[in-house]
Amino acid sequence: MLEERIAELIQADVDGELGPEQRAEVTRALEQSEEARVFHSEMLRVARHLTDAPDKEPPWGLRRKIIDSIELPSMGGFANNWFRPAGYGLAMAAGVVLALGVVSIAPMKSNDFGSLVGTMVNKGQAVAGKPEAGLTIEQPEINGQVWLKNLDEAWVVEFDLASDESVEVVIDLDSAGMSFGGFAGQADYSGDENLEVSGGEVRVVNQGSRHFVLFLRSIPGAEIKPQKIEVAMNRKGELIFQGTLQSRG
């Protein structure tokens, strides 16, 4: 039977909680006792399995939902009760507004993606489909996420971004073999004012917390699946972020 003190020391050793003297004591115990060695190896194995288990990715939009549900005092303002979280009701409402926002804007001009937007309404989801690729942006000027998603019959690039000042987001669709099919954003975020399409390049201006979607259509004769979409972000003409949405397979 392994001495209780030695068992405790072995546990602490596995957790990296021992000083040099105690570690030397564990080393001695391991040299002298087969039972200690077996116990040590078992505990290490269990600890390794637990530590090696991969992190789970928080769901898309959770961070934005949390941020949007918390009210801060206005800049420079102060009060005893600094924070006024909006609570569950408003948090839920934020999610609903987000969902409604996406569907409240018609797709751009000549592109007929109306049926797709309708599908999203019926599903009651702003963001449908499995992410094929994603980018996380963590720059001082802008942060958020970009996802390439496959909706049943179409591809979309979805943006959830936050920037204090105006940041230009440039999406190169040429290398993806796709062309621009439509834009959907929050109710107060119009494609007419914030979007420019030129050849295979789409430029969107982001300022504040914005959630928007670009619908893609395949170019005749090209691959149906977008292979690679380049995303760049510029602040005052200076490149601040560059990334590639690379689809699997």
Return residues touching other proteins (CB under 8 A).
Answer: 7-8, 11-12, 15, 17, 42-43, 45-47, 49-51, 53-56, 58-59, 62-63, 65-67, 69-70, 72-78, 80-83, 85-88, 91, 138, 143, 162, 164
Minimal distance, residue 87 CB to other proteins, in Å? 7
Nearer to other proteins, 1 or 53 (CB): 53
Q: At what angle do helices 34-52 and 20-32 cross, to 10 degrees?
A: 120
**CB burial of residue 16 (10 Å; 0-12, 13-18, 19+):** exposed
Minimal distance, residue 10 CB to other proteins, in Å? 10
Minimal distance, residue 208 CB to other proteins, in Å? 9
Q: How far apart are CA 94 and CA 109, in angstroms?
A: 28
Nearer to other proteins, 11 or 227 (CB): 11
Q: How far apart are CA 88 and CA 65, in angstroms?
A: 11
Minimal distance, residue 110 CB to other proteins, in Å? 37
Nearer to other proteins, 7 or 128 (CB): 7
Which of 187, 205, 58, 197 has its CA nearest to residue 126? 187
Helix (H, G, I), strand (E, B) or coil at 114: helix
- Type of residue at 210: R
Q: At what angle do helices 87-104 and 62-69 cross, to 10 degrees?
A: 120
Nearer to other proteins, 75 or 221 (CB): 75
Minimal distance, residue 232 CB to other proteins, in Å? 21
Nearer to other proteins, 3 or 153 (CB): 3
